[in-house]
Amino acid sequence: MAKFNILIAGNNDPISSIGIDLLKAEPSFDVTVNMNLKAEDAMVEASREAHAIIVRSGAKVTAKVLDAAKNLKVVGRAGVGVDNIDIPYASKRGVVVMNTPGGNTVSTAEHAFGLMMSLSRKVPQAHASVIGGKWERKNFQGAELNKKTLAVLGMGRIGTEFAKRAQAFGMTVVAYDPYLSANRAEMLKVELRDNLDDAVKDADFITMHMPLTPETKHMLNETRLRLCKKGVRVINCARGGLVDDNALAKLLEEGHVGGAALDVYEVEPPPADYALLKAPNVVFTPHLGASTEEAQESVGIEIAEQVKENLLHGTVVNAVNMPNVDPKTLAEIGPFLRFGEILGRLISQIAPQRAEFLRVNYSGNLGKMDTTLVSRGVLKGYLERPIGADQVNLINAVGTAENLGLRFTESRVPEPTEFSDLIEVEVGSGENKAVISGSFFGGDPRIVKINGRRVEATPEGTLLLLENDDRPGMIGAYGTILGKHQVNIANMSLSRNVEGGTALTLLTLDSTPPQAVIQELEKIPGVKRVYCMELE
């Protein structure tokens, strides 16, 4: 039985014990929990033997960690944000990265909403004052939420939950999210703004709920904050860096921004001299959005299940760097995926060198399916020879092709050709290309065309493809040489363009002939090309 090492890594932020127990209960898993992995070097050492690493936001899975963890197959994030994981590098290394969207949505929306209420009623300041023995009622006059305008930036899961709560409090909700459809906005009864400045300029409160990306970094910068109404209050329970913390501190000091409630910071934890910590009218929490029993249990169990299923059965759920494959889909597309890989391997052995494109075209029943993974399988099979079978997989195949300058495309048409299912793979540059097509006969894969010529072969063992003048005696000549070297022919398929033109002979062999035999075949008069193709 294969053994898998699982590292649950953190910086004092463990995942739920139910999730840990679920993994420990699996006999083939060896589970290590280490919550002292703030430093990269410590993380590198702890990760060396891991097949899976599970983190929250405290531990960082950097390129150095990914390089050190030679056996690594999967990184699981118990939560939404994956900015503590080097995703491009994980993809390059062929490591699947999964998160658990949804498990902490309500907790985070509730926390952000709680922050907005604390901010509008100055709860932390009033609390500190009472504890300090004071009774300063006039200093802590707040503002109602009722009839105020709220701008929700990022109307995904958490933004939507926040908006619903705000509507229940009588707020007018304006939304900015370039990926939100007008229909959905209408359904959620929010006023959708196409332009970020339009969304924030009349708002009394702004709340942010999107990932930190190059596009969203410093979305609220000094210029945009100055555009807002004087006294605007800002809530950020999504990611540090969406707001320019220094600009926010400055505008809070000036009084242009009336208050801020933050759960996340550009630097976490913020150092003692962080300007924001000294600014007036602020409410802070230390990245607590998802810190509830319910959310942690939910994301802890979810990630444990996902990682377990991935290691044991190859199931991919909630991956951020490859398409999802649940067990049902995996069973359905499994045969196509395997055949796709074989077609890729096959064409890599007859394609022109320095190919510039690889196209996968589907028609008929296959043209109606989601074939993304099958195409990745073709690409993987194609790249195995040049890159090494252990270096390329379904996750990094697309990136690897890009690095080689190979343009990878796929097309699908639901109409059948002469076959009810067809996968056609074309590889080449300009007009110089090789084409192989495959189909399924009664559920069994068949190679049905090579370079546009009709052939028929079961994709197994070794295939010998010979191109020769169409004249008598050629097959006898091949058979004699192969027989002399004890190479048995299991199957043969013949085709030609015109009588006396060029013939294509596809032989399925029981063993792979040595190179010397191929050279002997090439010397037969009338033989133009001989390709020996191994399928496994």
Ligand X SMILES: O=C(O)CC[C@@H](O)C(=O)O
- Contacts with ligand NAD by CB under 6 A lie at 79-81, 101, 104-105, 108, 153-159, 176-179, 209-211, 215-216, 237-239, 263-264, 287, 289-290
- Which of 56, 60, 122, 308 touches ligand X (CB under 6 A)? 56
Residues 184-223 that bind ligand X (CB under 6 A): none
User: Which of 253, 268, 294, 418 is labelled catalytic?
Assistant: 268
* 104 binds ligand X, rule: CB under 6 A: yes
Task: Give the pairing of strands 502-509 and 489-496.
Answer: antiparallel
Distance CA 91, CA 384 (A): 16
Helix, strand or coil, per DSSP, at residue 88: helix
Q: Which is nearer to ligand X, 79 or 114 (CB)?
A: 79
For residue 140, which phi and psi values (nearest 5 degrees)?
-115, 30
Output the DSSP codes for 390-443.
TT--TTTHHHHHHHTT-EEEEEEESS--SSSEEEEEEEEETTEEEEEEEEEETT
Distance CA 211, CA 217 (A): 9
Token pair 């890159």: residue: 387
Shortest Å distance, C-beta 112 to ligand NAD: 8
Which of ligand NAD, ligand X, none sits in contact with 73, Cβ below 5 to 8 A by type?
A: none
Burial class of residue 512, CB neighbours in 10 A (0-12, 13-18, 19+): middle
Query: Residue 221, by phi and psi: left (phi above 0), alpha (psi -120 to 50) or beta?
Result: beta
Which residue number has the CB closest to ligand X?
79
* 50 binds ligand X, rule: CB under 6 A: no
CA 69 from centre of chain: 19
**Which distant-in-sequence residues (6+ apart) come within 8 Å of 257 by Cβ?**
225, 228, 231, 232, 233, 234, 248, 251
Which of ligand X, ligand NAD, none sits in contact with 177, Cβ below 5 to 8 A by type?
A: ligand NAD
C-beta separation of 383 from 401 below 8 A: yes
Tokens of 99: 């998160």
Which of ligand NAD, ligand X, none sits in contact with 468, Cβ below 5 to 8 A by type?
A: none
Q: Which is nearer to ligand X, 81 or 335 (CB)?
A: 81
Which of ligand X, ligand NAD, none sits in contact with 156, Cβ below 5 to 8 A by type?
A: ligand NAD
Shortest Å distance, C-beta 299 to ligand X: 7
Shortest Å distance, C-beta 111 to ligand NAD: 7
Tokens of 67: 């390089």
Count the residues in the chain. Answer: 536
Q: Among this protein's residues, is 485 annotated catalytic?
A: no
Shortest Å distance, C-beta 161 to ligand NAD: 8
- Which of 23, 66, 85, 290 touches ligand X (CB under 6 A)? 290
Which of ligand X, ligand NAD, none sits in contact with 154, Cβ below 5 to 8 A by type?
A: ligand NAD
User: Which of 51, 239, 446, 453 is labelled catalytic?
Assistant: 239
Q: Which is nearer to ligand X, 99 or 437 (CB)?
A: 99
* 81 binds ligand X, rule: CB under 6 A: yes
Q: Which is nearer to ligand X, 236 or 462 (CB)?
A: 236
User: Which residues form the catalytic set?
Assistant: 239, 268, 287
Q: Interface residues with ligand X (CB under 6 A)? A: 13, 56-57, 79-81, 104, 287, 289-291
